[in-house]
A and B are shown apart, each in its own frame.
Chain A
Amino acid sequence: MGALGKPIILMVAMYVFLKFVLPYIPGSAPLPSSLIFLYLILTASGIVIYETLSGESKDAFWGPIQRFLTGENIGGLQALRYGVLILFPLLVGWQTYGSTATSDLPPTESRTIHPAPPGEYTGLVNPVPKTPENIMQGKGFYAAFCSPCHGGNFDGKGPAARGFIPAPANFADPTTIAMLQESYLFWRIKKGGVGLPIEGAPWKSAMPRWELELPDEWIWKIIMGEYDGAHQSPRTWE
């Protein structure tokens, strides 16, 4: 195997790490295959780049592959060569078939989490003054209407959360509401899942259309309560 051994070991080690080690780190979860594939491609690219930096390393790396595929008098490896030459196209064919054949499984999703809001909601400013009383009131409304799903700790882990896929948003995560302006939250709360725009479908949101039950003022107060409770700040331009 020579110089080929290290790259093979590295690829296997990387796969084992991504598939069997990373998911078990506290707070982690199994990686989707698309991400594992991406990281393995990067690893393979790195190996090829490094091994072809000089003539010697290139020959040491490609030499065994070339000899295995085209060399003469390779002895017992001859059978393996034919095995690879037959199995490799079959593997490609199987992959192609697998990705195009009809299946009873739903297709892999590339869901867009933040659709663009309608024009009338952009640039809206929260009309409710940011007083401690209003924030407290907002938290109260939140506890009554939102916490069953989004959680009393604003972490998306309310008692009803386990019934939903995808899970309700975790507001304490700095990559959710902290990235958005208050007007965006106002739109999402007011219109709910059914009010999402058609572009970027498929939408999957069980968010109720709160405009049917809550006045605008309450929604604005809930937004203030959410940001305060989750220890986040809305995106602003000033």
Chain B
Amino acid sequence: MSAIQQERETIQPSLRADRSHGGWLASLLLAAAWLALPSIGVAAEGTGAGPTEYRDIPYIGSRNLVWIVAQLHLLLAGFVLGVPIFAWLCEVIAWRGGEKRYDKLAKEFTKLLTSAYATTALFGGILLFLLVAFYPKLMNYLTDVFFPSFLLYCLLFLLETATLYLYWYGWDAMQHGRKKTLHVFLGFLLNFFALFIMIVPNAWATFQSSPVVISEGTAFERAWAATWNPTWWPINIHRLIANVVLGGYICGAYAGVRYLSVKSQEDREHYDWMGYVGNFIGVFGLLALPFAGYWLMREIYQYNQQMGITLMGGFLSWLFIIQAMLIGVLFLGSNYYFWLGITYRIPGSEAKYRKAMLWMLISLLFCLAVWMTPHSLVASIEEAQKMGGAHHPLLGVLGVMSAKMTVSNLMILITFMSFVMYWRAGKQDTAGWAKLGKAVMGAILVLASIAVIVLGVWGYFVPAIVRINYFSTSQVLIVIFVILTITPLTALLLKSAKTTTEMVWGSMPPRAGYSLVLNAVMVILLMTLMGYARSSSRVHWHVYGVMRDTSPYAYSPALGSASLIMAFCTFFFCILVAFIFWVATMGDKYKAAGGTGKGELPHGIPAMAGGAPDENQKG
């Protein structure tokens, strides 16, 4: 109140003095004063008696602002750290195999990376300022624990930036001979530094959830103990894979959007292929992601039962039903894209594989139905009475981990087989052992599926520890075994196979592009969802069990209001990425327009507007 009084005392005499200058000035000042009012709300708690512990900001609130900025920074960082992995792999494939189009693709990925890199750093800087301003006590504590790793992080950032500049700007100059080897080495270094740039801040975040605090020892020893906390490596692995998935799907979405808007057949072919590679990378990571997630949750449960139950059985457990839905859509979207590829890129294959696609689709939907069935159901009083509680007597068994693990493994197997089907389409085996090879692969697949289901059902009748430590692990190992057996066998078979139908790039329908965009949105939503889950699992602690949150925001936001922030972060991130990509490709578009002229393009209708090469060729 005193601040308002003070403000009024300052503003009113000024207004009286300025009355002669006209009403507009008074209005302007009034407006400025009104806009300045929130500054009163930027209250500092703890003033007077001791050091400031928290600061707040009106309307949005400090917690929400930090949440949004942190989430955006994390999403951008995920993209920036994920893309170099497969950009570099593409470059290596081009370098060793001589396929120039992979080099072009790697360069295009890196172009997206350079423009996203600065924005990531910018959001990181904003986040740091906000944290220091809003949570000085916490930041002071974390600085005290992690000071040596702060310095290391700065050094890593310098090295990463320098390497990225050399990698990107030296691309054309280092194309041949030993220079190319040096360029590939730079790509390796880029990923090496990127890995550490990810795992160092992961230590800070995981320390907040599962702290290891030692009071004795040097600053380095204390920082090292805090870094090596129980959830550090599970998070590192989970994020590394998730970053590849995010990067793959975003690059896929970029290719999808470009595919929908480009006009020349050459561009269509290129972006169709790029979309395929993006989707493949996303799927490749997605296959491994549930394993990493399971390990992380297991470590959390083992570290603290309370936190584990809050996440998986308590009030956050509903998030995992939403997670199942999002992952399910992702699996469906990725498989749909593979199946469209078989139909449109390999003419004549549809009739051969349509039945298989139908069964795969039914199996995927069945698995998804199991995954999405909650243990405790949303039911009215009347419905709950009829069921005899919140659990359905028959379908309730689908709500626990044994069922979820089984269907997630089966969905991974189905998706893998979709890819194998796509790989084999349009080719005829000529090897003498082809029949035997296919029989062996079929047997492996069937036996593995049966084994996964049997272990899943058996899991209900053994102690939890047997299920977690042996059955679930065995299911994962079985799926890995299938992938590692069928992949080389298929590759061997296809080595001698005759191509009956050439792959036709650039012939996918517009919905293929849209499904790529859908996949990217699903991954972003998933990451925002899990960001909320991870932070909220700490409940009212800044550092779990060590430093309590004493701010007015020491409560977990309800799932409904949290979902609004998640949706906003997803939307804003998409806008941001669209802007970055627009800026990154501005030069190319200008060059393309100047080079040939829009009117001279052979097939002038973009795919989004219904243009397809076949139609144009017919015309």
- The minimal Cβ–Cβ distance linking A187 to chain B, given in whole angstroms, is 10
CB-CB under 8 A from A173, the residues of chain B are 391, 396
CB-CB under 8 A from A112, the residues of chain B are 313-315, 317-318, 376
CB-CB under 8 A from B464, the residues of chain A are 178-179, 233-236
CB-CB under 8 A from A199, the residues of chain B are 314-315, 539, 556
Q: A49-B361, A110-B318 are in contact. Are A175 and B384 (CB under 8 A)?
A: no
Of A30-38, A77-85, A211-219, the stretch lying at the interface with chain B is: A30-38
Q: Give the contact-size bracket for chain B.
A: 35 or more
- Tell me which of B305, B385, B396 has the highest count of chain A C-beta atoms within 10 A of its own C-beta: B305
Contact A106 B381 (CB under 8 A): yes
State which of A29, A122, A178 has its C-beta within 8 Å of the C-beta of B463.
A178
CB-CB under 8 A from B460, the residues of chain A are 174-175
- The minimal Cβ–Cβ distance linking B92 to chain A, given in whole angstroms, is 35
Closest to B310 in A: A116
A115 to B317, CA, bound (A): 10
Q: Mark A96-115, 1 if CB is under 8 A from B, else 0.
A: 00000000011011111111
Q: Mark B370-390, 1 if CB is under 8 A from A, else 0.
A: 001101111111011111111
- The minimal Cβ–Cβ distance linking A121 to chain B, given in whole angstroms, is 8
CB-CB under 8 A from A174, the residues of chain B are 397, 400, 460-461
- Tell me which of A53, A116, A118, A234 has the highest count of chain B C-beta atoms within 10 A of its own C-beta: A116
Q: A49-B361, A237-B465 are in contact. Are A32 and B304 (CB under 8 A)?
A: no
Q: A53-B340, A174-B461 are in contact. Are A117 and B383 (CB under 8 A)?
A: no
Contact A33 B383 (CB under 8 A): yes
Closest to B343 in A: A54
Q: Mark A150-175, 1 if CB is under 8 A from B, else 0.
A: 00000000000000011100000111
Contact A55 B509 (CB under 8 A): yes
State which of A33, A43, A109, A235 has its C-beta within 8 Å of the C-beta of B390.
A109
Closest to B328 in A: A42
- The minimal Cβ–Cβ distance linking B264 to chain A, given in whole angstroms, is 22
A65 to B344, CA, bound (A): 24
Closest to A29 in B: B387
Contact B393 A236 (CB under 8 A): no
A134 to B312, CA, bound (A): 32
Interface assignment of B399: CB less than 8 Å from any CB of chain A: yes
CB-CB under 8 A from B393, the residues of chain A are 27-29
In addition to A30-B383, A166-B390, 6 A-B residue pairs with Cβ atoms within 8 Å of each other are A32-B387, A53-B354, A106-B380, A117-B305, A174-B461, A183-B305
Pull 24 A–B residue pairs with CB atoms less than 8 Å apart, ordered by A: A28-B392, A30-B383, A32-B380, A32-B384, A35-B395, A42-B368, A43-B365, A49-B332, A53-B340, A58-B509, A108-B379, A109-B381, A109-B390, A110-B378, A112-B315, A112-B376, A116-B307, A166-B389, A166-B390, A174-B397, A175-B375, A179-B400, A200-B314, A233-B464
Chain A residues within CB distance 8 Å of chain B: 22, 25, 27-35, 38-39, 42-43, 45-46, 49-50, 52-55, 58, 105-106, 108-119, 122-123, 165-167, 173-175, 178-179, 181, 183-184, 199-200, 233-238
